[in-house]
């Protein structure tokens, strides 16, 4: 009964289990990203561009009100506002919206806007063909610009959805700057 060999074998199995669970914890990270993307949770699905199908019908019988909310994270000295507070769209119809941003930090800076869509059950139906939030945005000192979003609401959006909110939080990317050219596509410099 007190057989060290047997103990050793069981201990090894259990230690392997412990190491697996430690790895499993890290595996939760990509798994979470995947799930979020699939269900559109937390705006993860709208950080990449979608290509609408060519013959997407426009549902003129329904109108959805989309609100825009902007937040500047922490004490970053930035002006960041939507040019329109809300817009009414028919499902399937593509709209263009501009967001105004001004760098008041007193130095050059790279920022990125992270989207979030509520209600969560509607999030995966709001799709963007082009957005300033897909990439980091470079601003020189005191630069002002209008930044574009092209989006549409998928016609398969549930019937009980009448209103959606698209919220952006603008983050200072210093420390996370990607090695790429300063990306300003579609921006209207003011």
Partner 1 sequence: MNEALSHHGDAHADSGAHGPDKGFKRWLFTTNHKDIGTLYLTFSLIMLFVGGFMALVIRLELFEPGKVLINPELFNQMTTMHGLIMVFGVIMPAMAGLANWLIPMMIGAPDMALPRLNNWSFWLLPFAFSMLGSTLLMSGPAPDFGWTFYAPLSTTYGPKSTDFFIFSIHMMGASSIMAALNIVVTIFNMRAPGMTLMKMPIFVWNWLVTAFLLLAVMPVLAGCVTMMLMDRHFHTSFFNAAGGGDPILFQHVFWFFGHPEVYILILPGFGVISEIIPTFSRKKLFGYTSMVYATIMIAFLGFLVWMHHMFTTGAPFAAQLFFMYVTMLVAVPTGIKVFNWVATIFKGSITFETPMLFALGFLIMFTIGGFSGLMLALVPSDYQYRDSYFVVAHFHYVLVSGSLFTIFAAVYYWLPKWTGNMYSEKLGQWHFWLSVIGMNVAFLPMHFLGLAGMPRRIPDYALQFTDFNQICTVGAFIFGFAQLIFLYIVYQACFGPRKQALTNQVWEGAHGLEWTLPSPVPYHTFETAPQIV
Cis geometry, peptide bond prior to residue 119 (ω within 30 degrees of 0): yes
CA distances (Å), origin 31, targets 1, 24, 38 = 43, 10, 11
Q: How far is the CB of 60 from partner 1 (least distance, A)?
A: 28
Positions that interact with partner 1 (CB under 8 A): 1-3, 6-7, 10-11, 14-15, 17-19, 21-22, 24-26, 28-29, 32, 36, 39, 41-42, 44, 73, 112, 114, 118, 120-121, 169, 171-173, 175-176
SS3 content of the chain, % helix, strand, coil (to 5): 25, 35, 40
Q: Is the separation of the CB atoms in 43 and 115 below 8 Å? A: yes
Comparison of 21 and 190: residue with beta carbon closer to partner 1: 21
| First-to-final CA distance of the chain | 82
Q: How far is the CB of 171 from partner 1 (least distance, A)?
A: 4
Q: How far is the CB of 7 from partner 1 (least distance, A)?
A: 5
Comparison of 62 and 73: residue with beta carbon closer to partner 1: 73
């Amino acid at each position: 009964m007190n057989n060290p060999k047997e103990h050793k074998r069981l201990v090894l199995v259990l230690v392997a289990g412990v190491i697996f669970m430690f790895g499993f914890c890290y595996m939760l990270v990509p798994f979470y990203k995947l799930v979020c993307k699939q269900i559109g949770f937390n705006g993860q699905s709208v950080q990449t561009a979608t290509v609408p199908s060519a013959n997407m019908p426009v549902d003129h019988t329904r109108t959805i009100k989309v609100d825009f909310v902007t937040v500047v994270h922490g004490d970053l000295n930035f002006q960041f506002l939507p040019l329109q507070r809300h817009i009414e769209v028919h499902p399937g119809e593509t709209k263009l919206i501009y967001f105004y941003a001004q760098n008041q930090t007193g130095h050059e800076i790279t920022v990125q806007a992270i989207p979030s869509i509520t209600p969560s059950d509607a999030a995966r139906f709001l799709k963007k063909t082009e957005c300033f939030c897909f990439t980091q945005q470079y601003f020189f000192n005191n630069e002002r610009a209008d930044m574009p979003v092209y989006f549409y609401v998928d016609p398969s959006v549930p019937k009980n959805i009448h209103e959606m909110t698209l919220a952006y939080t603008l983050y200072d990317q210093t420390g996370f700057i990607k090695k790429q050219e300063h990306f300003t596509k579609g921006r209207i410099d003011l």
